Structure 1
């Protein structure tokens, strides 16, 4: 049995057909457009189009019968006869449906305008199972993605196919975030204090350096030097080709990643923030008691002679590169363990109290904030008009960078603590569920 139509609009349209206002072809044509399908907000273009078609056709009918009515009124027929006429009865039905449809259309437009729910991304180009959690920040080099899996295995995968090229381990030592420069992967160990140089194509060890304690920071490479910090507070600079020590700087526990900018290494320790001459290893300036930069994902960024960084105590700072003068600082609601992202106008930073902030980089005032469902430990990435961030609520979020509005999200099976990598519109996302996901962002 055919189901009876449940829409009162369809019933009224059927009344027009029965009364002879519409012929069968017109009835069938209008019936296909009058029913807006139940759809999510991402199909509203379809709804708009069908509603528009319906209104155009209905308006045409009203004009047709209005002309007939005017001709009818021009004759000397009495008003009573007009109101009792079949023609007026038919026109009344058309007017009722048109007014109803206009009201519904206005409601649809109002409810969906700038109120669309975010798109849930459910498809991937490929996914790779690393057979163990991924909490390190990946890095992309010449179409190969490098990261550590299960904290102990350095993995290289092809970004076109999502297939493993090689993997490398050393005495089952826990490893941190890799960096890749000129065909060499540099990575430190959390135990015994090694720094390794690995051939990026083959996965073979080139050299190793034994430091004094755990290497939490991602090694930074500049001026022929590999610069990294250790847990007991030494900042090392090694020859990039041989791994021989060039200089060391004594601070307190350095668990963050240094930034090399304009011939200086900027790094935060447990007690101070330093500017170090990259050639000599001498201190240029120091900001004492500013807070602790914690984790390999926490690093300063620089633009227009200013540094921006967050502390474990929850403060976001803007500091002058040349003098170390604090220009402004902003207090978040939680601890910061990540690196800010910067565009021409704003600084974007997350904290472990679930929030992502957009802060005016000139005056330190908040533009907007976004609240996830769990901690934000990864660093934000700016891509086109979006800020993309991972959360411990298992989601990657893409927000409009001007308004903070959530445009799309992708859900994994476990926490996301690492920073996504984006290249050629493809986002590479790592998760504690042990997978790498490749998502085409062009369609969102």
Structure 2
């Protein structure tokens, strides 16, 4: 008996020692991060800084532009993927559809009557939002990203390491920056600066007008995600399992947090971090769901979906919305992580959802797109086309980018549809109330 006790204690001691060694090496492998002052493998061409003038708009009721822009992936620098205040109802009628010949992994950006779409085949296409005609297009490396609108400029990233600024009205190239790594990160612009990450682990801050680098920070972990901005801070997730908060003016680290997948391994992040102003929300590739304090990085809550996680969470109505490879779409309470509802739709959800008013839109790889009621997850609308991220919403229209096809839809309660219904009702009233002619 004593022999078995000693043997058990010895085994337990070995396990504890092994765990201690694992923790030691795990902690030692954490990249500490630093500002990159050498900028190896980075080159910037000559910038075209001539003034940019927007073209004159044609007039007409049907040419009224949506006034609110969707400037980047997520719709805003916080990457919330939501417009909770918009109430245009469910999609009502499609009014144009255009095929781009290659699948579209990320949703478009929009401003002033022009949609900007990247394709995996390397095209950046500017489309007239009123009729779908091509205004201009450019070809380059693969682009699993959303172009970022920065005033009159459009900032485009690509797999071949090029980040390019175009005149967003006519497609004239203004400057081009080359990084010795892939750039899959969707840029985000605030004021005179634009930010993006690269797979060599560096986060870049670049002047919008010239493409010159203001600062670069080496996180030590591959960046496929897109940085998010809150106030004077910028946040980014990495494949190394880390989340960083930097001062976005000078790149100085405010905090970093490494999140564990298990006792030995760190998590790994493809999804970006979205924020509600207090908390950061993201999903690891192994299916861990995390909420962190934006102020100091401590973990507020964590959950798991038991499936791969690649989609940036959408944030609205005090909830976090996302789909998974298990075919489920979930809504969690933003403050606690409690499951509000979980709806099994089948298929595999890889791209992020977006919220339009009281509806959550999401697409699976099996070519289905759904609108679910945000309150309880009830399916309210379905379209037999999908893959990957469904699209965006404005105050007048839905724009879907599905399986290489861009579609424009009127919302059932959109201003132009309600106005049309009022005109039709008034015309009907005039006909029915007209006095009858007396017979001679």
Which of 202, 208, 215 is the equivalent residue of 1:240?
A: 208
Instruction: Give the number of equivalent residue pairs.
Output: 317
1:279 aligns with 2:252: no
CA contact (8 A) 1:237 1:248 kept: yes
Relative to structure 1, the CA distance from residue 150 to residue 236 in structure 2 (aligned partners, 3 Å threshold; closer, same or farther) is closer
1:200 aligns with 2:181: no
Large movers: runs of 4+ above 4 Å: 120-123
- Consecutive unaligned residues of structure 2, counting only runs of 5 or more, are 1-89, 261-266, 415-440
CA shift digits 1:312-368 (9 cap, x unpaired): 121221111110010001111312212212223211111222221100111111011
Which of 220, 223, 229 is the equivalent residue of 1:254?
A: 223
1:427 aligns with 2:403: no
Root-mean-square deviation (Å): 2.0
The aligned residue for residue 103 of structure 1 is none
Larger Rg: 1
The aligned residue for residue 301 of structure 1 is 274
Structure 1 CA distance for aligned equivalents of residues 180 and 109 of structure 2: 26
Structure 2 CA distance for aligned equivalents of residues 250 and 183 of structure 1: 30
Structure 2 CA distance for aligned equivalents of residues 162 and 438 of structure 1: 8
The aligned residue for residue 265 of structure 1 is 234
The aligned residue for residue 44 of structure 2 is none
Relative to structure 1, the CA distance from residue 226 to residue 121 in structure 2 (aligned partners, 3 Å threshold; closer, same or farther) is closer
Q: Any idea what SS the aligned residue of 2:251 has?
A: coil
Which of 162, 178, 185 is the equivalent residue of 1:217?
A: 185
Q: Any idea what SS the aligned residue of 1:136 has?
A: coil
Relative to structure 1, the CA distance from residue 123 to residue 230 in structure 2 (aligned partners, 3 Å threshold; closer, same or farther) is same
CA contact (8 A) 1:127 1:436 kept: yes
1:320 aligns with 2:289: no
Q: Any idea what SS the aligned residue of 1:430 has?
A: strand
Q: Any idea what SS the aligned residue of 1:124 has?
A: strand
The aligned residue for residue 22 of structure 1 is none
CA contact (8 A) 2:280 2:291 kept: yes
The aligned residue for residue 148 of structure 2 is 179
Q: Which moved more, 1:371-380 or 1:233-242?
A: 371-380
Structure 2 CA distance for aligned equivalents of residues 161 and 384 of structure 1: 25
CA shift digits 1:154-201 (9 cap, x unpaired): 00111111111111113xx2223211120211111202x111001110
CA contact (8 A) 1:429 1:437 kept: yes
CA contact (8 A) 1:130 1:436 kept: yes
The aligned residue for residue 316 of structure 2 is 343
Structure 2 CA distance for aligned equivalents of residues 406 and 257 of structure 1: 30
CA shift digits 1:388-414 (9 cap, x unpaired): 1111121211111111100111112xx
Q: Could you tell me how far 1:123 is from its partner in structure 2?
A: 5.1
Structure 2 CA distance for aligned equivalents of residues 226 and 352 of structure 1: 32
CA shift digits 1:257-298 (9 cap, x unpaired): 00011211100011211111111112111111442221xxx3
1:352 aligns with 2:352: no
CA contact (8 A) 2:92 2:411 kept: no
Structure 2 CA distance for aligned equivalents of residues 439 and 353 of structure 1: 29
Q: Any idea what SS the aligned residue of 2:312 has?
A: coil
CA contact (8 A) 1:121 1:409 kept: no
CA contact (8 A) 1:267 1:299 kept: yes
CA contact (8 A) 1:176 1:187 kept: no
Q: Which moved more, 1:378-387 or 1:401-410?
A: 378-387
Relative to structure 1, the CA distance from residue 122 to residue 301 in structure 2 (aligned partners, 3 Å threshold; closer, same or farther) is closer
Structure 2 CA distance for aligned equivalents of residues 279 and 137 of structure 1: 28
Structure 2 CA distance for aligned equivalents of residues 304 and 175 of structure 1: 29
Q: Any idea what SS the aligned residue of 2:94 has?
A: coil
Structure 2 CA distance for aligned equivalents of residues 195 and 203 of structure 1: 14
- Consecutive unaligned residues of structure 1, counting only runs of 5 or more, are 1-119
Structure 1 CA distance for aligned equivalents of residues 184 and 343 of structure 2: 29
Residues 344-423 of structure 1: matches in 2 within 5 Å?
344-412=317-385, 415-423=386-394
* Structure with more of its chain in helix, by fraction: 1
CA contact (8 A) 2:118 2:124 kept: yes
Structure 1 CA distance for aligned equivalents of residues 199 and 125 of structure 2: 25
